[in-house]
Amino acid sequence: AVATFVLFRFAGLGFNLVTLSGLALSIGLAVDNAIVLFENVAHRARGIGSAGRRNLRTIAAAREVLFPLLAGTATTAVVMTPFLYLEGELRDVYAPFVLSVVLSLVASLGVALTVVPAATAWALAGGGARSAGKRRLERGFDRLLRAVLRRPIVPILASAVLLGASLWVFAEKVPKGSIFAPQADTKLRVSLGFPPGTDLAHADNLLRRFEDRVLGHEFYRNDWISSVDVLVRADLATLTVDFPVAVARTLAPISLQEELTQVAATIAGADVSVSGSGPGFQRARSFVSPSYLLRVTGPEYERVRDLSFAIAERLRREPRVRDVDPNGSGLFVEDARELVIRPDREALARVGLTATDLVRTLRPAVADELDSRRLSGPDGELRARVRFTGGETLDVADLRALRVPIPRGPSVAVADVAAIEERALPGEIRRRDQRYERSISFDYRGPRRVGDRFTRSIVENTELPTGYLLEDGLGLFLTRTERRDLNLSIALAVGLVALVSAALFESVSLALIATLCIPLAFVGIPFVFWLSGETFDRTAYVGLILLAGIAVNNALLLVHRAGHLRRRGASRRDAARRATVERVRPVLLTTATSVAGLVPLVWQGGGTGAGTWRAFALAGIAGLSAAALFTLLVIPCLFVPLARFRGGRPRGRPGAIANVPPTLPRLNLPSTKGVAR
């Protein structure tokens, strides 16, 4: 930790939520290098009584894993390079996170290469044999590996099938791209807004209608509601209903929302809102109609408007789409509406009226005030306004029923001489970087996952003129630029890992074997997200990038050891088996510590900002677990047919490796020739 803080100081990093999350992840990864080094030193130097020989064995054991440890840290460090080419928010958020992880791993490598060998040699001074549990683990795994290596093509084909299945699950079953972390709690909220000066008792009485309905409901009696919170102020009154996690998966939240919406229809004199949030209203198992928003942008306002209307007309033809509004204004902007009056001049002429007579009748009804003036009174001046009686509550039907007087004859209804309709307008005009923006809102009747897929297909398959763009208006999906940047970052990370591996082994075939662990690590990720119902968001993509550098570490150790044994004369099959048996315990331990460091990020509580790294942690846990499994069972099978070495046949006799001691440093001793006894 001290070394990490020193590196933070030189790198100019501070402590914030992003860097602290990186340190939380590094807690599990930081001990991996120490575990590998300790295991190898203990394996080579255990049971040696002489301090000098034990120290020599310790140095040799440390040198044996030096290059794999350096390569493992380098692969994790190089995956940070793609983040330097990200743009905007992605770079601002994730670059400090990855940098904090890399600095922690560099510090852990320095500690592992200096402190751990000395501490291990001191701890082994008392001797001692390997534990019985470790011997049983190695013997049992050796028998399993012998059976697997008899037919290496079987696990190779099985892993290829699993990889193909995982890609299909990822493309068809996993929801992707949401930037909003799922909320931990399912809440139903009723909000009443009042004009200034409203009596507090009046506000409380109106909200009590909703509260009485909830407290008298069978859901409350059956403990399907965990709490009911009420807040009443002169200008605002809210009722919040919390549902337990088990109830959130049922239709109870949606059913209660519909009942409270019916109560809201009976409230007058207040702005009423009934809204739900959390998994009970957002998950795919709830057949609630989620709202979606598409945004059209372009340089000309009229052209943007026409394109919005065309897309809205296309949406109306879809059987599951409802409430299409080409004037959608976003989440927090009220929709504006206007009255359109079209006089029927022929009908007006038949009754002896003109458009001016029609306007003279309608103006008092739609005007905010007819006249205003200041009057003098005993208490000073007062401002008096003259308004149309009931003008605040008139709707389109009332306007159509107004009577227009005729000079000679009975009056006539407005509906007989004019057409009146209410038309929606955008609640705002938005222009960003000299480009106009217009939104299209709609509801999708079906599961959220299907609605997301439908909306994404509309965005990706709609062709617009050059200079105009259709994108997700709520930020539910990654933009094309963000998706391109992330995919490029993943590809670049894999390529850099392959280059580092090739530099370590000086062999393309061995580097290929180790790098193949990266796509195999991906196998477990889609199934975890599919079964858990989590959304594969931006943080999960970042998890894939880091996984490319971390998952390959164990494969580097295994392939490096197998290549060393092969060069000393062992057959490919025997080298793969012996190297895997020797590395099985470090692989399992390092995977366990890395997964343990990610678990707190999965189970963090709710609240603002909670769950930000949940998808990242799930991707890391699934990927590291799959990487460990395939490293131990599939990488040895790939080593048998793919391993190639330069320089002809390996040195030594086949099978002679069984009794070859580990490589020791060469000692320059004085010659004893001619020395008398």
CATH of the domain at 649: 1.20.1640.10
Residue 604 is predicted with a pLDDT of: 57
Tokens 């989440």 sit on residue: 331
Domain assignment of residue 522, yes or no: yes
Q: Do both 210 and 348 map to the same domain? A: no
Q: H-helix or E-strand containing 569?
A: none
**In this structure, is residue 472 part of a structural domain?**
no
pLDDT at 136: 80
Residue found under tokens 């995977």: 591
Mean pLDDT of 132-158: 84
Task: Give the pair of three-digit tokens for residue 153.
Answer: 């093509």
372: exposed, middle or buried (Cβ count in 10 Å: 0-12, 13-18, 19+): exposed
Q: Is residue 317 part of a domain?
A: no
Picking from 246, 277, 308, the residue at the C-terminal end of a domain is 277
- Is residue 145 in a domain? yes
List of residues 6+ apart from 342 with CB closer than 8 A? 418, 419, 420
Residue 191: pLDDT over 60: yes
417-434 burial string, b = 16+ CB within 10 Å, else e?
bbebeeeeebbeeeeeee
Place of tokens 């002489």: 50
> Coil, strand, or helix at residue 423?
strand
Is residue 30 domain-shared with residue 139, that is, in the same domain?
Answer: yes
Closest CA relative to residue 464, chosen from 300, 322, 321, 317: 300
Are residues 500 and 395 located together in one domain of the fold? no
Task: For residue 550, give Cα distances in angstroms to 32, 74, 183, 512.
Answer: 10, 10, 29, 16
Which stretch of 299-308, 395-404, 597-606, 650-659 has the lowest confidence by average pLDDT? 650-659
In this predicted structure, what is the pLDDT of residue 420?
82
Query: Domain holding 214: CATH number?
Result: 3.30.70.1430
In DSSP notation, 22-76 reads HHHHHHHHTTHHHHHHHHHHHHHHTT---HHHHHHHHHHHHHHHHHHHHHHHHHH
Residues 406 and 267 grouped into a single domain:
no
Token readout for 549 is: 């550098």
In this structure, what are the phi and psi dihedrals at residue 469, rounded to the nearest 5 degrees?
-140, 140
The answer to which of 334-338, 390-394, 522-526 has the lowest mean pLDDT is 390-394
Q: Are 467 and 299 a contacting pair, CB within 8 Å? A: yes
Kindly state the helix (H) or strand (E) to which residue 388 belongs, with its residue range. Answer: none
C-alpha span between 471 and 283 (Å, rounded): 23
Whether residue 154 sits in one domain with residue 64? yes
The yes-or-no verdict on residue 256 having pLDDT over 80 is: yes
Band the pLDDT of 589: cuts 50, 70, 90: confident
Q: Token digits for 325? A: 């509004």
Q: Is residue 434 part of a domain?
A: no
Residue 165: pLDDT band by 50, 70, 90 thresholds?
Answer: very high
110: in domain: yes
Of the listed ranges 53-57, 401-405, 667-671, the one predicted with least confidence = 667-671
Specify which residues 342 forms β-bridges with: 419
The partner residues of 441 in beta bridges, in order of sequence, read: 293, 325
**Residues 22, 35: Cα–Cα separation, whole Å:** 21
Residues with Cβ within 8 Å of 503's Cβ and at least 6 positions away in sequence, in order, are 71
Q: Would you say residue 650 lies in a domain?
A: yes
Q: Rounded to an integer, what distance in angstroms lies between the CA atom of residue 601 and that of residue 616? A: 8
pLDDT band at residue 641 using 50, 70 and 90 as cut-offs: confident
Q: Which of 227, 255, 277 is the last residue of a domain?
A: 277
pLDDT for the residue 287: 37
Q: Sign of the C-alpha dihedral, residues 295, 300, 303, 309?
A: positive
pLDDT in tens, 331-390: 444 455 677 888 888 888 888 888 888 888 777 777 655 555 666 766 666 666 666 565
Would the pLDDT of 616 be above 60?
Answer: yes
What tens digit of pLDDT does each residue of 315-330 get?
A: 888 888 887 888 765 5
**Residue 578 domain flag:** yes
Torsion angle, alpha carbons of 118, 120, 122, 126, to 10:
-160
pLDDT at residue number 158: 92
Between these two residues, 667 and 414, which has the higher pLDDT value?
Answer: 414
Per-residue pLDDT of 68-81, as tens digits, reads 778 877 887 777 76
Own/partner pairs for 372-381, CB < 8 Å, 24+ apart?
Answer: none
Residue 197 sits in the same domain as residue 149:
no
CA distances (Å), origin 631, targets 25, 156, 468, 565, 636: 22, 12, 48, 18, 8
Predicted confidence at residue 223, as pLDDT, reads: 84
CA distance 631 to 517: 7
CA–CA separation, 145 and 573 (whole Å): 10
Dist. CA 53–CA 73, nearest whole Å: 30
For 272, half-sphere exposure in the C-beta direction (CA atoms, 13 angstrom radius) is 18
Do 35 and 175 lie in one domain? The reply is yes
Statement: residue 29 has pLDDT above 80: no
Name the residue with higher pLDDT: 485 or 397.
Answer: 397
Helix axes 89-123, 538-550, angle to 10 degrees: 30
Average pLDDT for the chain: 76
Same domain, 520 and 400: no
Is pLDDT larger for residue 377 or for residue 309?
309
Count CB neighbours of 271 within 10 A. 12
pLDDT score at 162: 92
Q: What confidence category does residue 250 fall into, taking pLDDT thresholds of 50, 70 and 90?
A: confident
The secondary structure element, H or E, covering residue 533 is: none
Q: Is residue 113 located within the same domain as residue 215?
A: no
Asked if residue 451 has pLDDT above 90, the reply is: no
Q: Which two tokens stand for residue 84?
A: 């330097």
User: Does residue 273 surpass a pLDDT of 90?
Assistant: no
% of the chain exceeding 70 in pLDDT: 72
Neighbours of 665 (CB within 10 A): 8
Range among 216-230, 426-440, 478-492 with highest mean pLDDT value: 216-230
* Pair 151, 203 in one domain: no
Instruction: Specify the range with the lowest mean pLDDT, choosing from 87-96, 454-463, 630-639.
Output: 87-96
The verdict on 173 and 86 lying in the same domain is yes
The better pLDDT of the pair 439, 43 is held by: 439
Strands 418-425 and 412-413: unpaired
Q: How many domains does the chain have?
A: 3
Q: What is the DSSP string of 205-260?
A: HHHHHHHHHHHTSHHHHTT---EEEEEE-SSEEEEEEEE-HHHHTSSHHHHHHHHH
| Rounded average pLDDT over 91-108 | 75
- How many Cβ atoms are within 10 Å of 545's Cβ, its own excluded? 22
Domain boundary among 234, 252, 277: 277
Q: Is the model's pTM score more than 0.85?
A: no
Question: What average pLDDT does the segment 135-160 reach?
Answer: 87
CA–CA distances in Å: residue 254 to residues 221, 247, 309, 394: 18, 11, 31, 32
Which of the residue ranges 232-241, 364-373, 513-522 would you say has the lowest mean pLDDT?
364-373
Structural domain span for residue 577:
2-179+480-656
β 435-444/291-298 pair status = antiparallel
| CA–CA distance, 505 with 558 (Å, rounded to integer) | 12
Q: For 366-380, 448-462, 578-592, which range has the lowest pLDDT when averaged over its residues?
A: 366-380
- Residue 157: pLDDT band (50, 70, 90) is very high
- 150, 12: one domain: yes
